[in-house]
A and B are shown apart, each in its own frame.
Chain A
Amino acid sequence: MNPEFRRQLWLQFSTTRLIVLPMLLAASFIAVYVNVSSAPAAPLAATAMLLFAVLVLGMGTIAAGASVMDEIADRTWDQQRMSAMQPWAMTWGKLAGASAYGWYGGALCLLVALPSVWVAEPLAVVLRWALLGCLAGVFLQALLIAINLQLLKTSSRVSRRSGMWALLLILLWGGGLVMESLRRVNHIGWWNQAFEKLDFALASLALFAVCALVAAWRSMSEVLAVRKLPWGWPALALVATVYISGFGWTQRLPVLGAVGLSVCAVLTYFALLTEPQQRPLWQRLVNAALGMQWRTVLLQLPRWPTTLVLAIPFAVMTAMALNPNTAVPWTLSNAVLLQPIAFALLLGRDCALALFFAFSPQTRRPVMAFAVLMLVLYAILPWLMRALGGPVLAGLALPLLGNSALSVVVAAGHLGLALWLLRWRWLATAPRTAEA
Chain B
Amino acid sequence: MIQPVIEVSDLTFDYPGFRALDRVSLSIAPGSVTALVGPNGAGKTTLLRCIAALDSPLSGTVRVMGLDVFEHPREVHQLMGYLSDNFGLYSELTVAQGLEYAARSQGLPTASVAQAVQHTAKRMGLSDKLGNLASALSRGQRQRLAIGQAIIHEPKVLLLDEPASGLDPEARSALAHVFKALQAQGMSLLVSSHILAELDEYSTHMLALNQGRVLEHRALAGSGAASGVGAVERVLRLEFVHGAEAIAPWLQTQAHVQLQRAEGRVIDITFSGDRTDQAALVAACVTAGHALVSMASVTENLQQSYLKSLAAERATAPATRMQA
A interface residues, Cβ below 8 angstroms from B: 3-4, 6-7, 10-11, 74-76, 78-86, 224-226, 278-280, 283-284, 287, 300, 361, 429, 431-436
Contact A79 B320 (CB under 8 A): no
Taking a contact as CB atoms under 8 Å apart, the answer to whether B105 and A4 are in contact is yes
What are 15 sample pairs from A and B whose C-beta atoms fall under 8 A apart? A75-B86, A76-B90, A78-B87, A82-B77, A83-B74, A83-B106, A84-B106, A85-B74, A226-B74, A278-B16, A280-B13, A280-B58, A361-B324, A433-B322, A434-B319
Known: A279-B16, A283-B58. 4 other contacts (CB 8 A): A76-B89, A81-B54, A283-B14, A434-B321
Whether B82 lies near A83 (C-beta < 8 A) is no
Contact A82 B58 (CB under 8 A): no
CB within 8 Å for A432 and B323 given contacts A79-B149, A225-B56, A287-B59: yes
A28-B102 Cα distance, complex, nearest whole Å: 40
Chain A residues lying within 8 Å of B9, measured Cβ to Cβ, are none
- With A and B bound together, what is the CA distance between A226 and B320 in angstroms? 35
* Residues of B bordering A, CB below 8 Å: 13-17, 19, 52-54, 56-59, 70, 73-75, 77-78, 80-82, 84, 86-93, 97, 101-102, 104-107, 149-150, 317-324
Contact partner of B105 among A3, A278, A279, A284, CB < 8 A?
A3
Min CB distance, A423 to chain B, in Å? 17
Residue in A6, A226, A429, A435 whose beta carbon sits within 8 Å of that of B101 in the complex: A6
CA distance A79 to B134 in the complex (A): 15
Q: Is the CB of A436 within 8 A of B106?
A: no
Closest Cβ neighbor of B75 among chain A residues: A84
Residues of A contacting B319 in the complex (Cβ-Cβ under 8 angstroms) = 434-436
Is A11 touching B104 in the complex (CB atoms < 8 A)? Answer: no
- Docked pose: A433 CA to B212 CA in angstroms: 13
A86 to B87 CA separation, bound complex (whole angstroms):
22
B87 CB contacts on chain A under 8 angstroms: 75-76, 78-79
| Docked-complex contact B102 and A79, CB < 8 angstroms | yes
A281's nearest neighbour on chain B, judged by CB, is: B56
When the two chains form their complex, are residues B19 and A431 in contact, meaning their CB atoms are under 8 A apart? yes
A420 to B88: give the CA distance in the assembly, Å.
46
Pairwise interchain contact A78-B82, C-beta atoms closer than 8 A: yes
Contacts of A431 in B (CB 8 A): 14, 19, 322-324
Closest to A225 in B: B73
Whether A280 pairs with B93 at a CB distance below 8 angstroms is no
Closest B residue to A283 by beta carbon equals B58
Taking a contact as CB atoms under 8 Å apart, the answer to whether A279 and B14 are in contact is yes
For residue B317, which residue of chain A has the nearest CB? A436
Q: Chain A nearest CB: distance from B164 CB in Å?
A: 18
B312 to chain A, nearest CB (A): 14
The answer to whether A226 and B73 have CB atoms under 8 Å apart is: yes
Contacts of A79 in B (CB 8 A): 87-88, 102, 149
Known: A7-B101, A433-B322. A84 touches B14 (CB 8 A): no
A300 → B minimal CB distance (Å): 8
> In the complex, how many angstroms separate the beta carbon of A80 from the nearest chain B beta carbon?
8
- Chain B positions within 8 Å of A300 at CB level: 56
* A83, A287, A435: most-surrounded residue (chain B CB, <10 A): A83
Distance between Cα atoms of A394 and B290 in the complex (Å):
101
Tell me the smallest distance from the CB of A435 to a CB of chain B, in Å: 6
Point out the residues of chain A lying under 8 angstroms from B91, CB to CB.
74
Chain A: CB-nearest residue to B79:
A84
Q: Are B74's CB and A84's CB within 8 A?
A: yes
Q: How far is the CA of A85 from the CA of B81 in the complex (A)?
A: 14
A284 x B16 contact (CB < 8 A): no
Nearest-neighbour CB distance to chain A for B50, whole angstroms, equals 11
When chains A and B are docked, how far (Å) is the Cα of A76 from the Cα of B248?
59
Minimum Cβ distance to chain A for residue B58 (Å) = 5
Q: How far is the CA of A47 from the CA of B80 in the complex (A)?
A: 52
CA distance A147 to B260 in the complex (A): 66
How far is it, in angstroms, between the C-alpha of A233 and the C-alpha of B115 when the chains are bound?
44
Give CA–CA (A4, B149) in the complex, Å. 15
> Closest chain B residue to A86 by CB distance?
B74
The answer to whether residues A429 and B317 also contact, given A78-B87, A284-B58 and a CB cut-off of 8 A, is no
